[in-house]
Amino acid sequence: MKTRADWIFLLAIMVLAIALGVVGFRIVASTNQDIDAYDQGAYLGMAQSMKTDLLPARTDGTRNPLFPWLVTRFYDPDSPDFFAAGKRLNVLLAVMGVLLIGLAAKGRLGSLASWNLAAVSGLGSLLPISTFFGAEVLFYLFFTGMWVAALDHIRRPRVVTGLILGVFSGLAYLAKPSTGPFLAAFAGFVILLILIKKLWRNPPAWFLVPDWRTSSAILGLIAALGSYFVIISPRLDSAQRTYGNAFYSLPSFWFWADNWKVCVEKYANCTEYGLSKIPPEEWPTAGNYFRRNSPTVAWERLMGGTLIKIQQLVIPDGRLPWKAENRNKPKRMLLPGRGWYLVLFGMLAVVMIAMAKGKPLTDPGGITGLAFGAGVFCLFTFAYGWYHVIGPGPRFVMMFYIPLCWLFFASASASAQAHGSARFLTIFHSLLALALGWRVGDLLLNTNFEKISHAF
């Protein structure tokens, strides 16, 4: 039975969602009016060709089909208003995502922290990119679901968590082909834990929960991989028939190119037929890359790009707010300093863990999920850092914004429970809610928005 506090939370989260929807529709009407020749134009062309497709299956080799297929279910791709309608649909998806995140987190974090998580997710990640005609909103939401399900399964494996992970992974892959490394890392990590469990009969509780079952881990992994491949099978079949490779994706080839210009001029077609027109020593492979470039060049590319990706996550617009030359410049972000919020939340988690004398890390299974999350974040950050010379935008690394906020909030909440007093955390979330509520109100009153490239 719902309490008065539950009804207040539902009302607050509904008000937040409605307010963000109003702001999103205003931004759609005033920014990003021109269809570029790259991602937005490509997605528009895909949508127009998928009007009669029963399933999201076709790819253009770079982009996956879920977003253009979904848009054509609601709007006529031949309509002159289709581009704006697709952005409005993304705003609605972002608003639904805010609601789902808040409701899903409430049982774990409590009302105040869940409202804050929903607010920073909407203002800092979902709403800004929703005004871009692309698949990022869907991908960010499904990737967050993957993240939470994977951490739950690693901590306490069950078939249902594996199944949920597989479903989210499959949907995320249909949105953007960036889930393979995550699922591979998850499978490898679970197999490693299974081997440790077999060799180390009685691991300490802080490493694995006492009832951590190998059979459940294996069945959950099978459920994850099985549901994943079932969901993506139409796309695999279409790519196999079109390109001769079920997992064909141009970015996987571009990963080993020297720069974007080379991709456009030489690697626009990396099917077997397309590569046959290029000498084998020029194919986009790891071996050929390192034959062309010294280890020093490769290292500089990796570390230089990685530092930029971290900056894009923490300082997305490249501005340091305390510098005098930046104080009076117009802000183009819905949540100014949104990256610094992420740093603040991380510091909060560290402080709360310290106050609890590290107990959350030594709770049953506490360290394994943290190790997996840190490993996956490093893996993707380095990969996107390497890819920066090909795809320099912040849209890639921003996939981690909501999952990291979720992880930091959850760690702080667990620490507060372990410490026996939640007063400090309640004060923090109360002040944060006031700041976020003030920002939402300011956005509702300020109807002028600076033109934003890729909504960032």
155 shares a domain with 126: no
Same domain, 31 and 64: yes
Does any domain span residue 280? no
Confidence of residue 370 (pLDDT cuts 50, 70, 90): confident
Q: Are residues 26 and 86 in the same domain?
A: yes
Task: Answer yes or no: do 27 and 127 share one domain.
Answer: yes
Please tell me the pTM assigned to this model: 0.92
> Cα separation of 233 and 221, whole Å?
18
Same domain, 39 and 126: yes
Domain count, the chain: 2
In a domain, 39, yes or no: yes
10 Å CB burial of residue 328 (0-12, 13-18, 19+) is: exposed
pLDDT band at 171 (very low <50, low <70, confident <90, very high): very high
Question: Does 52 fall in a domain?
Answer: yes
* Range of weakest confidence among 107-121, 179-193, 364-378: 364-378
Mark which of 230, 248, 266 sits at the end of a domain: 248
Residue-wise DSSP of 201-265? SS--TTTS-TT--HHHHHHHHHHHHHHHHHHHHHHHHHHHHHHS-TT--HHHHHTTSSSHHHHHH
288 within some domain: no
- Domain edge (last residue) among 248, 267, 300: 248
pLDDT in tens, 299-348: 999 999 999 999 888 876 655 544 444 444 444 578 878 888 999 999 98
Q: What is the mean pLDDT of the chain?
A: 87
Listed residues 200, 232, 248: the one ending a domain: 248
Place of tokens 């021109």: 34
Q: Does 108 lie in the same domain as 155? A: no
Give pLDDT tens digits for 18-27.
Answer: 999 999 998 8
Q: What is the dihedral of CA 317, 323, 325, 329, to 10 degrees?
A: 50
Domain that residue 188 falls in: 137-248
Contacts of 301 (CB under 8 A, 6+ apart): 293, 386, 388, 389
In a shared domain, residues 142 and 113:
no
Confidence of residue 454 (pLDDT cuts 50, 70, 90): very low
Q: Indicate whether 154 belongs to any domain.
A: yes
Domain assignment present for residue 99? The answer is yes
Distance CA 108, CA 119 (A): 16
Residue at 143 is within a domain: yes
